[in-house]
């Protein structure tokens, strides 16, 4: 049984029947670039086989570390930014109770996993420290270099909090560093202090790293089954290997979004009908945006949460400018369902729905939206998932990873680098007065003064 399926039936108004087949030669070439390593960024393709060819010894250590964290900590603070944070955050939201963070420890049964180092907000860090309070906690710091500004600042703060609470020796037993295997500031500090370390693989970029130790340790510490997660991803790895567009639905999605992009649909909304998938969209936005937004081209990734955002963005989507395409991740079987109860009066006008299940109503809303938006000139694709569990999530992660990689090659760019990310960092270092960046800072301050 396929745990993920792709539905393009609502594209008939937008894509002629011959167009997908005419993409086959381009898809074959993109597949060669990806599978044979002939394309740009070939050194960063190790995620392709990560679900089936990973370090078993490290995987076992991840599970042991997660068990230790569960035994000695009420809270795990995960410090990282971008791909070092989004994958774990989206997986934990996807796999747990919608109000996971508000649950009592006895009901949650596992440590509360919280995130820091993903912004420079002092209030956020202060509030997080206040939330932890006197509870026992551990830290998982995730950084390839150990010098990225946001997580480095957060790590200094929480490392000191550990030392203040437990003393340096015990603090060292509560720090887990996920970093480069051989080099970097964090690796050096971890070796000197004796922290347990896990590896960010050299051939796996941050946005493709959720199925490595980067994502697996926080996910396992939250109580999720990472064996099932990897099994689902491995099944998808096997499923999406044939470039034939009549067989490979991940490649179909990549091809259709490029067909639509060439017709002027330049922004893609990833949508869901389950609030706990909000962070899944945030993970996807980095995967798509950082992979494809280069050389003044690329599909702009955005997101919406339905039916909520239908009451804010719905008007624009229905009747605004025609540059949007939509991809819905639709859950077919919710974790729980409720029946709309009968009432003595019909003041709310819901008599016609009493006795119906809420998920049935949710699905009819999805069907109505697809019909309305396609009629209004907005193409809609749907990725169906059968349930919210670890196996399905692993499958879904791999679906989008391979689709976005192929999509990037179809658009003639390197899907595995991110040169534009460095521009703001260089300016920030200049304004902060980092040694070696003083001249840049002086120039920026002059430009800002001239513009006032």
Distance in angstroms (rounded) separating the CA atoms of residues 169 and 157: 17
Q: At what angle do helices 278-292 and 390-410 cross, to 10 degrees?
A: 20
> Is 364 an annotated catalytic residue?
no
DSSP summary character for residue 339? B
Q: Which of 258, 251, 250, 253 is nearest to 412 (CA)?
A: 258
Residue in 13, 297, 364, 425 annotated catalytic: 425
Greatest C-alpha distance within the chain: 75
Contacts of 107 (CB under 8 A, 6+ apart): none
Q: Which residues pair with 196 in a beta bridge?
A: 176
Distance in angstroms (rounded) separating the CA atoms of residues 88 and 218: 6
Token pair listed for 418: 């991110």
Pairing, β 380-385 against β 4-7: antiparallel
> Is 330 an annotated catalytic residue?
no
Q: Which of 141, 154, 284 is nearest to 207 (CA)?
A: 284
Residue in 196, 290, 390, 401 annotated catalytic: 290
Q: Strand (E) positions, 47-206?
A: 75-79, 112-116, 137-142, 175-179, 196-199
What positions carry a catalytic annotation?
A: 290, 425
């Amino acid at each position: 049984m396929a745990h993920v399926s792709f539905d393009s039936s609502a594209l008939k108004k937008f894509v002629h029947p011959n167009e997908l087949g005419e993409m086959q030669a381009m898809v074959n070439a993109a597949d060669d670039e990806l599978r044979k390593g002939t394309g740009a960024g070939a050194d960063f393709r190790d995620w392709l086989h990560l679900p089936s060819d990973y370090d078993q010894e490290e995987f076992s250590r991840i599970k042991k570390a997660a068990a230790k964290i569960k035994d000695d900590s009420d809270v795990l603070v995960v410090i990282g930014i971008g791909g070092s944070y989004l994958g774990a955050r989206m997986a934990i939201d996807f796999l747990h109770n919608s109000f996971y963070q508000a649950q009592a420890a006895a009901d949650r049964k596992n440590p509360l996993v919280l995130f820091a180092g993903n912004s420079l907000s002092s209030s956020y860090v202060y509030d997080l420290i206040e939330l932890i309070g006197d509870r026992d906690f551990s830290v998982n710091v995730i950084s390839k270099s150990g010098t990225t500004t946001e997580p480095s600042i957060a790590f200094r703060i929480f490392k000191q909090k550990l030392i203040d609470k437990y003393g340096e020796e015990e603090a060292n037993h509560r720090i887990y560093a996920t970093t480069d295997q051989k080099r970097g500031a964090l690796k050096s500090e971890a070796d000197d202090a004796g922290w347990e370390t896990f590896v960010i693989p050299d051939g796996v970029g941050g946005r493709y790293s959720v199925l490595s130790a980067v994502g697996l340790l926080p996910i396992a510490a939250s109580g999720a089954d990472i064996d099932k997660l990897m099994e689902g991803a491995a099944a998808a790895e096997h499923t999406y290997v044939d470039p034939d567009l009549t067989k490979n639905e991940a490649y179909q999605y990549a091809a259709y979004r490029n067909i639509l992009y060439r017709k002027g649909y330049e922004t893609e909304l990833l949508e869901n009908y389950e609030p706990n998938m909000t962070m899944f969209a945030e993970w996807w936005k980095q995967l798509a945006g950082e992979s494809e937004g280069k050389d003044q081209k690329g599909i702009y990734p955005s997101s919406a949460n339905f039916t909520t955002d239908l009451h804010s963005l719905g008007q624009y989507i229905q009747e605004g400018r025609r540059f949007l395409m939509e991809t819905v991740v639709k859950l077919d079987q919710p974790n729980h369902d409720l029946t709309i109860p009968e009432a003595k009066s019909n003041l709310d006008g819901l008599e016609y729905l009493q006795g119906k299940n809420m998920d049935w109503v949710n699905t009819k809303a999805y069907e109505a939206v697809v019909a309305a938006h396609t009629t209004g000139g907005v193409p809609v694709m749907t990725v169906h998932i059968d349930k919210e569990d670890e196996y399905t999530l692993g499958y879904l992660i791999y679906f989008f990873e391979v689709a976005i990689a192929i999509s990037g090659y179809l658009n003639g760019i390197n899907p595995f680098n991110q040169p534009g990310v460095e521009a703001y960092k260089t300016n920030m270092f200049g304004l902060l007065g980092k040694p070696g960046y003083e001249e840049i800072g002086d120039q920026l301050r002059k430009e800002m003064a001239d513009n006032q």
